């Protein structure tokens, strides 16, 4: 299989692109494998957070061009390229990046909610160098997250930036030593899974959609999304656990 999936203690689903001989380039099998893993992440209540990474010291070099020229298309249903870029997961998803996250590989990372990267990782959208366009989300996600002129430079030169620069401009959440991205992502996931599932889902939805709303819409939409959380059993449990100075026992209801 080109995608390995495993579950760690605490309800973390780890998804590994396993095509190191092709720098983890995305073909149809990878796209279907990632899509299936994300369906599982969203469907199983005991799974709380996902981590997406690549085997062999590389995150992902983008679309498998050899497969592309033979007519293979690395999309999966409404999830889009690599089974993730148009519709990722409802639950928090962390990209653990080593080596190169280029072209569609960078766009996969941008489709995740958080990015942990080794200090020697590289990020870029070099599609223009191949006569292509970064059409899996990079061209509109980047200017939403980094300064306009830097987004334009990445898009028009096709040249990559290093992880330290990516962290400086807010693309990368945490920098770790080379080879430690997965460990860093697991540490971040452990911080997240301690929190209440309903509150996590509502918080992610509001942050994702906030830029689509006017201020008036934001108050209404936030109230609709968060309203049920305040009346949940977990909200009561959180308050009781705080008062009793113990760890809460979340039920997801």
Domain of residue 231 covers 197-244
Q: Which active-site residues does the annotation give? A: 107, 127
Q: What is the pLDDT of residue 5?
A: 98
Q: Tell me the C-alpha distance between 81 and 87, whole Å.
A: 9
pLDDT for residue 52 is more than 90? yes
Whether residue 118 sits in one domain with residue 182 = yes
Q: Tell me the C-alpha distance between 74 and 52, whole Å.
A: 17
Is 213 a domain residue?
Answer: yes
pLDDT, mean over the chain: 95
Is 253 a domain residue?
Answer: no
Q: What is the pLDDT of residue 217?
A: 95
Q: What is the pTM of this model?
A: 0.95
How many domains are contained in the chain? 2
Q: What is the pLDDT of residue 69?
A: 84
The SS3 of residue 174 is strand
How confident is the model over 173-187, as a mean pLDDT? 98
Whether residue 114 sits in one domain with residue 56 = yes
Q: Tell me the C-alpha distance between 4 and 27, whole Å.
A: 15
Whether residue 108 sits in one domain with residue 133 = yes
Predicted confidence band at 71 (pLDDT cuts at 50, 70, 90)? confident
**pLDDT for 136-153, tens place per residue?**
999 999 999 999 999 999
**pLDDT for 155-170, tens place per residue?**
999 999 999 999 999 9
Whether residue 118 sits in one domain with residue 204 = no
């Amino acid at each position: 299989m080109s995608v390995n999936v495993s579950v760690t203690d605490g309800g973390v689903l780890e998804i590994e692109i396993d095509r190191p001989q092709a720098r983890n380039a995305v073909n149809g099998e990878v796209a279907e494998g990632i899509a299936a893993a994300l369906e599982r992440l969203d469907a199983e209540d005991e799974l709380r957070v996902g981590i997406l990474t690549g085997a062999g010291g590389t995150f992902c070099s983008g679309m498998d061009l050899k497969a592309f020229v033979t007519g293979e298309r690395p999309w999966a249903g409404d999830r889009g390229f690599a089974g993730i870029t148009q519709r990722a997961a409802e639950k928090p998803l962390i990209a653990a990046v080593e080596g190169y996250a280029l072209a569609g590989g960078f766009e996969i990372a941008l489709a995740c909610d958080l990015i942990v990267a080794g200090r020697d990782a590289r990020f870029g959208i070099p599609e223009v160098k191949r006569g292509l366009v970064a059409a899996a989300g990079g061209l509109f996600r980047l200017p939403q997250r980094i300064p306009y002129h830097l987004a334009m430079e990445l898009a028009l030169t096709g040249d990559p930036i290093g992880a330290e620069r990516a962290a400086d401009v807010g693309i990368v959440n945490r920098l770790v030593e080379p080879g430690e991205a997965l460990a860093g992502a697991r540490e971040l996931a452990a911080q997240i899974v301690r929190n209440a599932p309903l509150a996590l889902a509502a918080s992610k939805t509001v942050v994702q959609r906030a830029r689509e709303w006017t201020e008036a819409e934001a108050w209404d939409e936030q109230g609709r999304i968060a309203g049920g959380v305040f009346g949940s059993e977990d909200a009561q449990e959180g308050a009781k656990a705080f008062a009793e100075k113990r760890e809460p026992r979340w039920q997801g209801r």
